[in-house]
Structure formats: C-alpha cells, structure tokens
Structure 1
C-alpha cells in the first residue's frame, strides 16, 4: 500500500460539490471541529443537512451557569456544552423522535419554588409528567431510569431553578456509568438521532486557568469569558488546566486513544469561531492533540471571530494566528512549519468586524492561504451566516 497525497484547486463556494453532499448527507465528509459553547450551534444545525459524519470535540471545562451546579454537586466535567451540541445536531423532525427532543431541551422555571420544582422532577422520573408520558416505551423507561439516578443522588439543597432536563439526564447517566461520559453521550445520541459524533475532548473534572499580561492568575471559565462576571481588565497571556476552580493546581490532561482516532479520521479540521481561549484553545490543551492534528494531512482551517471577543482584547488577526500556532506547537515539542498545522484562514473582510489585518507578507512567510469570501448575511450585524459558513467549509473537502 502506498500513501499518495492528492491536491486540487477548490472553488469557494462550490455549488456542485455542496449539492452532491446535500443529496446524500449520510455519505457526507468528516469535518472535525474543536469547539465548545453555542457559537457553532447554528452552523451545526445547517451542517447536518449536508453531512451526518461531522465530528465535534467539545470542552468540558465550563464553570458557570447550570453546569456549575452539577459540577459542584458531583465533581464531574461540565456537560452543558455537550448537551447543547447534541441538540444542535439532533434530528428534530418526526423521524427523529421530536417528543424526546422536547424533553431534552426543556428547562425548569427560573422562578419556581423548591417544593414545586422537586415535584415536577419526581413526575418526570415516574413518567407521569406530560413531557415523559408523551414518550413511548421502552424509550421512556430508559430515560426515566437515567433521570432517576440523578434524583436519587441529588443533594437536598440542590438548586433546580432553570435546570436543563437534558443536563440532568446526562448527569444521571454519568453517575450510572461509573463517572464516564462516553456511554451516556452515545445513548443520548441514539435517542435523538444525532447526525454526527459529539465527544468531550477529555473525561476529567478539570478547570481552565489563565495568566494575564499583568501577572495575575484567573481560575474558572466563568471568570474568563466576561459573560457572568466583569470582563478581564488585562489581556490574556496564556491558558492552562487546573484541577480546581478555586485553587491554582496545574494539571496535564492526555488525549484518549478514541479521540486520537477521530482526529486521524477527519477530512478537514476546523478551528472555528467562538470564545478564543475558553472554547477553541482549551480544546487544544490536552497532551497529544497537537501531535494528532499534525499527523493528519487533511486541510486545516482557522475561522476568526467576525466581531469582538472579550477574550481577545488587544489581539489583532496576526496575533490570533500566532497564538493558535504556538498552542499547537507546545504539544509537538518542536517548531513544525505553520502550514502543517493551519492551511487556510477563512473570513469575510467586506462585512466582518475584524481587529487588524492579515498582511500578505505574514501569510506568505507562514505558508498559509487567505480565503476571503461571502460568509456574513444581510442582517446588518457582523455574524457569520450558518449556511454560508457551512457551504464554504464543505467546498474545501
């Protein structure tokens, strides 16, 4: 057997190639995304109409919102972003069990009283609540069984206000499967017909830690993103993992073999828009990720945020590319050529609100190609249009 690398001239967008994928999405390409949060959910919903084989490695490091309550109660990885991506890729048509989709996306009232919320949860566990009663057996028994594990383990003072039922089911399955995420994610995927593969990049109860340019250390993703607390007042200089959200305990995570195989199988690797440090770079921190990316010779695409990101204060486009490359090279142990880690930067200069410029000299020195094409719609805001972005990426495969 001989390995041969074949290159071609790509048209972006390529209507014929995209149309072919749309006709047979079950045979679509294996696009891999390193992401977390909700920034990619719109693209994921559109992507499932072109391919059922996309791969999503998601950060389990969120330390805010409803995920924080579950993490504090059970010392577990964050599952909110995983559940969100699973739902974005779920078949919500009549063929995909929409009654299960409704249950998994339901949230308890934010202003509910504790006794009423517990009564609602008990009704869901027993199968008597309309949301669970609407699901036929044996699926209903299976779902209620996982939710029952959560109910049994739930601390007496657990705050159910605004809780996502999907998160509670995932937490119950995690507890029921010896503190492992993969089995319950697999089950969850089958229940809602997820069109793609979603997996946590690591299965550990770790947190994010950043060092600021002024020397301070900040622990916990919720303190980094600027969404739940005041934005950082100094630019971020570096990001690592910590074993604790409240104590600085540096730790190293390792990429699992099954995730290494997923990276090796990708036909295109995408560093997508979203929170630059806590979503994108966080996924690249585990030992082995950079090496796995480097070993795959498929196209690798960086898509900068099209509007300001609080985590990128003071960073221009060229610095973003440099930081991305530096993060990947940390794992490889030597200065590999940039074009072996990033081949393309994809953006829409005419409509995006990007900080700074990408000069020809900078890109030429790195061997990276700029693709400047229509990615933003007519809404008047510089946000990527999910369909335009999805079709641009599909054109490169």
Structure 2
C-alpha cells in the first residue's frame, strides 16, 4: 500500500474497473453507473453451486451466474432495459430439470455455444440490456477455490469449492486456486491496465474478492496499473468472515497481495468497531479513509447506490485536489 500518483487522467468521466462477484459486485456497479459510463466488471468464475454449478458441470463452461448478475446491475434504466433485466433474473420453479435455472444463465451459455466466444457472448447480452458498461470473466477457465482453515481444536483442514468456502465456520488462513496459474481473460487484464480507478469489494472476501489476486496476469496488472485502487468494506460479516474486524479485512488483503497499493478505503460507520484503529492503519500505509454512511436508510445490510456513489465520488474528487502535489505509487 502506498500513496497515489499525482495527477488523474480522466477527471470528467473516469474509467472504473470493479472486481468481485455476486451481490457485492452488483452493489458496486449500481453505484458506479451513477458516476460514469466507462465501467468494466471483472467477475470471479469459481461458483460451483446452484444453476451455475450444474451448467458448469454438465457443459464444461464458465459459471454464468455472477456474470449474469453483473450484467443485470448495468442494464439501461428504461422499460426495455428493465424488462430484459427481469427476464435475465427470472428463475424457473418446477419439478423438472429446469428447476432453479435462471433464464439469463441459459441464454448466456447458449450464446457461448453459438458464438464460440465467451467475451463476445457477454458483450451481446450487454447490448441486449443496453448495459452501461462491460462485463468480463476474471479467468478464461472455470476455477476451484481451496482454503486452509483453522479448526476449533487448532488443527488445519482443507475446504474445497466456493460454496463450501463461503459457509465455513472456521477461520480461513490461506486461499488457493485450481488450476494454480489460470489464464486470465485478456480483455480483463487490458481493462485493469487502462483504468483510472479499480474498486475491490464489497462482497464475500475470500470467495469473491481475493480470488482476483490469485490469477497471475490479473495480479500483475493490478500491481502495474497507474489506476488508483479503492477498497469498499462490507457492511456486516458473512459466514466466511465471522469474527473479522474492518482492520482484519485489510490485513488479509495485504497478506495475499503484499505489494498491492491501496489508495482509499470506504467504510460505513456502523460496520467499523474501532474507527481510530482503522484510521491509524490507513495512515500508516498512506491510504485515505472515508467513513460515510453507505447503507440504506432503513439500516439493512444493503449498500445504497446513491450513497455509495456519493462516497466514491468524494474519493475521486479528493484526489483531483492533489494535482501538483508530489506523490507516487
């Protein structure tokens, strides 16, 4: 973690890349679409449960579910866009083989088979939705997540599969991918290198956010990009992060990617148990901390798109005020 470069490149319409998966990534995208139309979602492809897991196992394709959710979050805010979004998200309820499959998952996989092109198929669905941005997989092959966990008796055990890692009751100590050195999606690598800002989180820390740092080409791009990196912390712990504090999330991020520069952290005050400790940690690494209410007004554990967009806009504008000051990555 270090201080940012001294001058922004696209102050009026910055290019954002958001990394993650599932509902957390959708929350980021719902906020970013209020700020810019230069958005790229880079989505984890390790899901092995539900409709995505079944299609992955039966057809050998990337799990489409998180990709579908990202596309839905970027849909055009019109009757056309919202109708296609709702169709994409529709799930069948039946006693037959279609049970719990979503229309969007089937559509995406069908386009992959017709076109023979993963990125081309996603781009075509994006055009159908009038998507405000682009959605890409983080890797070119399906991945399996594996974690070393510390059991209650102090012994180490191995948990395999995203669905199992996401619900483990034990403390996760180390994360791995299989295959260990998967090929990254080239378009995703290019997007990170060309970005002005990269957003990590919110989302399942171990099963959705950190896996991006374990894809070698994507990790290298994150280290080498001139973009500034902002981390959005979760509102509440989930199964895989029970007992972890806000500072622990940043510590785990640093343990898996020690050289990754983090330029800003956005946290909701209700999710931080010790703001002073978090502020001290950020100050020690040259990271700006913005503590702002970004959850819904009803205090549910859901990010409010307008509030999160306002917080991210304040982060961007704060760096615009640094033009001419000496800084570096």
Q: TM-score, normalised by structure 2?
A: 0.85
After superposition, what is the alpha-carbon deviation per residue over 1:92-145, rounded to whole angstroms, capped at 9, x for unaligned?
413x45554443232222xx243xxxxxxxxxxxxxxxxxxxxxxxxxxxxxxx
Structure of higher CA gyration radius: 1
Match of 1:219 among 160, 165, 174: 160
Alignment size in residue pairs: 306
Q: Does 1:308 align with 2:237?
A: yes
| 8 Å Cα contact 1:34/1:270 also seen in 2 | yes
**Which residue matches 1:322?**
251
Q: Does 1:343 align with 2:263?
A: yes
Taking structure 1 as reference, are residues 211 and 162 closer, same or farther at Cα in structure 2, changes over 3 Å only? Answer: same
**Which residue matches 1:135?**
none
Aligned pairs for 1:33-112 (under 5 A) are: 33-94=18-79, 96=80, 99-109=83-93, 112=94
CA-CA distance at 1:257 after TM superposition: 3.2
Q: Does 1:384 align with 2:298?
A: no
SS at match of 2:122: helix
CA-CA distance at 1:355 after TM superposition: 5.0
Unaligned runs of 5+ in 1: 9-20, 22-26, 115-158, 227-231, 244-250, 330-335
Q: Does 1:185 align with 2:185?
A: no
Tell me how large the CA RMSD over aligned residues is. Answer: 2.3
Q: Does 1:293 align with 2:261?
A: no
Take 1:369 and 1:322, find their aligned partners in 2: how far apart are those partners?
Answer: 16
Aligned pairs for 1:235-250 (under 5 A) are: 235-243=171-179
| 8 Å Cα contact 2:140/2:183 also seen in 1 | no
After superposition, what is the alpha-carbon deviation per residue over 1:156-210, rounded to whole angstroms, capped at 9, x for unaligned?
xxx21121111101111222233x4212101111111111111000120221111
CA-CA distance at 1:291 after TM superposition: 2.1
| 8 Å Cα contact 1:325/1:341 also seen in 2 | no
CA-CA distance at 1:279 after TM superposition: 0.7
Q: TM-score, normalised by structure 1?
A: 0.71
Taking structure 1 as reference, are residues 379 and 360 closer, same or farther at Cα in structure 2, changes over 3 Å only? Answer: closer
**Which residue matches 2:139?**
202
After superposition, what is the alpha-carbon deviation per residue over 1:280-336, rounded to whole angstroms, capped at 9, x for unaligned?
00122100222211222332111211212221133222222122122223xxxxxx4
Take 1:40 and 1:265, find their aligned partners in 2: how far apart are those partners?
Answer: 20
Take 2:200 and 2:113, find their aligned partners in 1: how far apart are those partners?
Answer: 32
Unaligned runs of 5+ in 2: 317-329
Taking structure 1 as reference, are residues 83 and 383 closer, same or farther at Cα in structure 2, changes over 3 Å only? Answer: closer
**Which residue matches 2:319?**
none
CA-CA distance at 1:50 after TM superposition: 2.9
Q: Which has the bigger relative contact order, CA under 8 A and spacing at least 6?
A: 2
